[in-house]
A and B are shown apart, each in its own frame.
Chain A
Amino acid sequence: MSTTSPRRTPLYDRHVAAGARIVDFAGWEMPVQYRGVIDEHRAVRSAAGLFDVSHMGEIRVAGAGAADFVQRLTPNDVSKLVPGRIHYSALLDPDGTFHDDVLVYRIAADELMIVVNAANAAADFAWVSSFPHPNLAVEDASDGYALLALQGPKTTAILQPLTATELAPIKYYGFARGEVAGVPAILSRTGYTGEDGFELYLDPADAAAVWDRLLEAGAPHGLVPAGLGARDTLRLESGMALYGHEIDRTTTPWDAGLDWIVKLDAGDFVGRDALVAARTRGASRKLVGFEIEGRGIAREGHKVLVGGAEVGHVTSGTFSPTFERALGMAYVAVEHAEPGNAVEIDVRGRAVAARLRPLPFYKRAR
């Protein structure tokens, strides 16, 4: 994509009207918060929040052999993915590092959808289409979808009255096609918050009307619009990686604790040889959680210290609205990466006490 002017989702006017603070995110003008990050975060944990994530990209792969093509590009086992199911996976480089982390949807036996991060969408599409696909359609379908994420324990109570699709049978990481508020939608039981929720893929022309209907129907349940700020604190508490922070072109799934998305038995895939070699060598570092015990908030890039020596660095750090303390994630040398270990973090020249914690920090009761 060569456009330099910021792009807007179909909901931009809604965000401005709702008083959102708009920021540039991966070339998109997106709402970072409406009323406030903390309130929005807590609404998602206790009731529900509605996010506009239309900036995400979608790549459609269709035709005989589509599944084999996607298998070749991603480390998770596409053969186990039946129509109506989704899995978390990645686009890896031959060196085993991340071009992106993705969701793969098995739309039909011979049709898949790869959902990618906005920041990587153009590069991902170029990467995927660079692999030979003589009898396949490989399309950047991003402009064909708006994407709303309805997240929180009140999700089904809000959404069920607006759709004839029965939500209960749709399991986590499953999806169905149906209608929401009278317009076609893919109802996907996925999210990036650690809560129950649905992501709704919509025709961009329908997005504003669905947004309005959801907020109206959800208001009595405590639904509020939520921005990228809360999305980030929610995913961090839930120990979920964010591209450009925990994962990038220097990290492998082994480093990031994403072993479970790598199925070495599923057949060959780009990056497999490098991952096998890396596994043989053994990991030198590990992604861990930490909790600040002193005063301050560790931020991305701050050094992790043991006995004054650098043993790692922070990838994400924030104030946690749920736990009301400063939390984060960091890469730490394996010999120091045991949960429970005391470390220090160099917060702008001040060594602040911290303790390593297992991820995730937050797991919802099921």
Chain B
Amino acid sequence: MYPSENRYTRDHEWVRIEDDVCTLGITDFAQNELGEVVYVELPEIGHLFDAHDELGTIESVKAVAEVYTPVAGEVVEVNENLKDDPQAINEDPHGDGWLVKIKFSASTDFDELMSAEEYEAYAKEGK
């Protein structure tokens, strides 16, 4: 369910690290809690974030969820497909439903984040 190469936050985001860029999305648990996503508000390319900043919002029919970035850095890519197909977040939250790619600062400590196994246990408790 939760890809082991990813790291996970307590706010139900995942990040996948490739060199100095990480891809960020929300977890399967989060999309399931939210329901059908109908609108996604994402930052512009080039936007700079501190760790724990609000990165954007995801709205379902009934609810709105803020997305936070666990890492500081610069947005280098945004998933433009979500404008036309926001439900990709429901269908493939850890794949096609990714949100942004961030070039993270050198001081980022990913060990603060949970492993897939730790996150799965954490999400189970949240049920």
In the assembled complex, how far is the CB of residue B81 from the closest CB belonging to chain A, in whole angstroms? 16
The digit string for B37-63, where 1 denotes a CB below 8 A from any CB of A, is 011010000000000000001011110
Binds B, one of A2-10, A30-38, A214-222, A238-246: A30-38
Whether the Cβ atoms of B35 and A229 lie closer than 8 Å is yes
Of A32, A37, A299, which contacts B64 at CB under 8 A? A299
Taking CB atoms, residues of chain A closer than 8 Å to B120 are none
Whether the Cβ atoms of B64 and A297 lie closer than 8 Å is yes
Whether the Cβ atoms of B64 and A319 lie closer than 8 Å is no
Of A33, A297, A326, A348, which contacts B35 at CB under 8 A? A33
Taking CB atoms, residues of chain B closer than 8 Å to A37 are 35-36, 60-62
How many chain B residues have a CB neighbour from A under 8 Å?
Answer: 11
Taking CB atoms, residues of chain A closer than 8 Å to B35 are 21, 33, 36-37, 229
The digit string for A99-126, where 1 denotes a CB below 8 A from any CB of B, is 0000000000000000000000000000
In the assembled complex, how far is the CB of residue B89 from the closest CB belonging to chain A, in whole angstroms? 13
Taking CB atoms, residues of chain B closer than 8 Å to A326 are 39
Q: Does A315 contact B (CB under 8 A)?
A: no
Whether the Cβ atoms of A321 and B61 lie closer than 8 Å is yes
Taking CB atoms, residues of chain A closer than 8 Å to B59 are 296-297, 319
Q: How far is the CA of A233 from the CA of B59 in the complex (A)?
A: 15
Closest chain B residue to A233 by CB distance? B61
Q: How far is the CA of A38 from the CA of B41 in the complex (A)?
A: 20
Closest chain A residue to B62 by CB distance? A229
Known A-B contacts A33-B35, A348-B57; A296 and B41 likewise in contact (beta carbons under 8 Å): yes
Taking CB atoms, residues of chain A closer than 8 Å to B39 are 295-297, 319, 326
Q: Does A346 contact B (CB under 8 A)?
A: no
The digit string for A293-314, where 1 denotes a CB below 8 A from any CB of B, is 0011101000000000000000
Q: How far is the CA of A319 from the CA of B39 in the complex (A)?
A: 9
Closest chain A residue to B37 by CB distance? A319
In the assembled complex, how far is the CB of residue B36 from the closest CB belonging to chain A, in whole angstroms? 5
Q: How far is the CA of A258 from the CA of B60 in the complex (A)?
A: 30
Report whether over half of chain B's contact residues are helix, strand or loop; otherwise say mixed: strand
How many chain A residues have a CB neighbour from B under 8 Å?
Answer: 18
Whether the Cβ atoms of B41 and A318 lie closer than 8 Å is no
Closest chain A residue to B83 by CB distance? A295
Whether the Cβ atoms of B61 and A229 lie closer than 8 Å is yes
Q: Does A291 contact B (CB under 8 A)?
A: no
Q: Does A52 contact B (CB under 8 A)?
A: no
Q: How far is the CA of A37 from the CA of B37 in the complex (A)?
A: 11
In the assembled complex, how far is the CB of residue B35 from the closest CB belonging to chain A, in whole angstroms? 6
Q: How far is the CA of A32 from the CA of B60 in the complex (A)?
A: 13
Which residues of B from 50 to 97 have beta carbons under 8 Å from A? 57, 59-62, 64
Q: Does A232 contact B (CB under 8 A)?
A: yes
Taking CB atoms, residues of chain B closer than 8 Å to A233 are 61
In the assembled complex, how far is the CB of residue B99 from the closest CB belonging to chain A, in whole angstroms? 16
Q: How far is the CA of A299 from the CA of B62 in the complex (A)?
A: 9
Closest chain A residue to B64 by CB distance? A299
In the assembled complex, how far is the CB of residue A232 from the closest CB belonging to chain B, in whole angstroms? 7
Q: How far is the CA of A114 from the CA of B41 in the complex (A)?
A: 45
Closest chain A residue to B39 by CB distance? A297
The digit string for A209-232, where 1 denotes a CB below 8 A from any CB of B, is 000000000000000000001001
Taking CB atoms, residues of chain A closer than 8 Å to B41 are 295-296
Taking CB atoms, residues of chain A closer than 8 Å to B38 are 38, 297, 319
Taking CB atoms, residues of chain B closer than 8 Å to A348 are 57, 64
In the assembled complex, how far is the CB of residue A299 from the closest CB belonging to chain B, in whole angstroms? 7
Q: How far is the CA of A229 from the CA of B61 in the complex (A)?
A: 8
Listed by A's residue number, 19 A-B pairs whose Cβ atoms lie within 8 Å are: A32-B62, A36-B36, A37-B36, A37-B62, A38-B38, A229-B61, A229-B62, A232-B62, A296-B39, A297-B39, A297-B59, A318-B62, A319-B38, A319-B59, A319-B60, A319-B61, A321-B61, A326-B39, A348-B57
Q: Which 9 A-B pairs have the closest CB atoms?
A: A319-B38, A37-B61, A297-B59, A319-B61, A36-B36, A38-B36, A229-B62, A297-B39, A318-B61
